[in-house]
Amino acid sequence: MNKLLKKYIVWPSHSECFTIAQQFFEASGYPDVIGAIDGCHVTCKIPYGQHDSYQDRKFNHSIPIQAACTTERIFTHISVGYPGAIHDARILQESSIGQITRDNADTLFYTRFHLVGDSAYPCKTWFMSPFRDNGRLTQQQKKHNYALSRARVVIENVFGLLKGRWRILNFVNVYSIEKAMKIITCCCILHNFCLINHDDFDAAHNFEHEHRGNYEEQVVDDNGAQKRMTICDMF
């Protein structure tokens, strides 16, 4: 499975990033985006004794998928296996993306590109998230948030497509966390395999995005804030 994962879920090369960024810009008006990222919880049977760790905010026992995708709905990164109680920003921090960017963000983002996500995520030079709506947003900030939302929405559509095609993800009924992780990962690999081979699927399955609200302070570093304001000034 690891060989298939490395073959079908691949981070874009430098040259591919320019093409992906152009596609995102045409779709949303937001510049230099090479992926939209979000989390999706997969309800699973969890062994007794680990229920608290895997209980999500809806009080289900789940394993989250955190994934980044392109406008063509192809996964370029997935992270599977963290307990459902863990916050999205923590999963990002502990994922391979977070680990690599701690040493050198340019390794993945080539000095200019970034991911986009909702307000649960940090604002960094390689990750653009919306301005928190405190009731005092300027018109430019509102326009910025709208364009970012248009770029980000594709990942919600992809999760809907994933769960619509692979119905096992509505409830993974195996009494092993390791096996559940493999099933979830295999479904993500098969998703890319099908799209790459033009086996499209348009089942009507609505992914219910969880509105997380402002229950946790958004992390904004100085360089990320400066880059976000530069982009905001374009609107």
What pLDDT is attached to residue 21?
Answer: 98
Which tokens is 118 given? 């909702």
| R_g of the chain computed on alpha carbons | 17
Answer for the pair 177, 50: CB distance below 8 angstroms, yes or no: yes
Cβ burial of 222 (10 Å; 0-12, 13-18, 19+) is: exposed
Mean pLDDT by 10 residues, the chain (235 residues): 91 97 98 97 88 86 95 97 88 92 92 95 95 92 97 96 94 92 96 91 56 59 95 95
What pLDDT is attached to residue 206?
Answer: 52
What pLDDT is attached to residue 219?
Answer: 82
What pLDDT is attached to residue 55?
Answer: 86
What pLDDT is attached to residue 84?
Answer: 86
Give CA–CA dist 184/72, Å, rounded.
21
Q: Please count the structural domains in the chain.
A: 1
What pLDDT is attached to residue 213?
Answer: 43
CA angle 77, 82, 83 (to 5 degrees): 145
What pLDDT is attached to residue 216?
Answer: 56
What pLDDT is attached to residue 214?
Answer: 42
What pLDDT is attached to residue 2?
Answer: 83
What pLDDT is attached to residue 197?
Answer: 93
Helix (H) or strand (E) holding 229: helix 222-232
Q: What are phi and psi of 123, to 5 degrees?
A: -110, 110
What pLDDT is attached to residue 58?
Answer: 86
What pLDDT is attached to residue 202?
Answer: 66
First to last CA, the chain: 44
Full residue range of the structural domain in which residue 108 is found? 2-232
